[in-house]
Amino acid sequence: MPRPFMRRRVRGRPNSSYFKPAGIRMIELEETILTLPEFEAIRLIDFKETPQEKAAKKMEISQPTLSRILKSARKKISDSIINGKAIKIK
List pLDDT tens digits, range 15-62: 778 889 998 888 889 999 999 999 999 999 999 999 999 999 999 999
Please count the other Cβ atoms lying within 10 Å of the Cβ belonging to residue 18: 12
Q: For residues 78 and 27, which has the higher predicted lDDT (pLDDT)?
A: 78
- 62 phi/psi in degrees, rounded to 5: -80, 160
DSSP-H helix ranges across the chain: 36-42, 52-59, 63-83
Give the architecture-level CATH label for domain 28-89: Orthogonal Bundle (1.10)
Nearest to 34 by CA among 60, 84, 72: 72
Beta bridge partners of 34: 89
DSSP category for residue 4? P
- Any idea where the domains of the chain sit in the sequence? 28-89
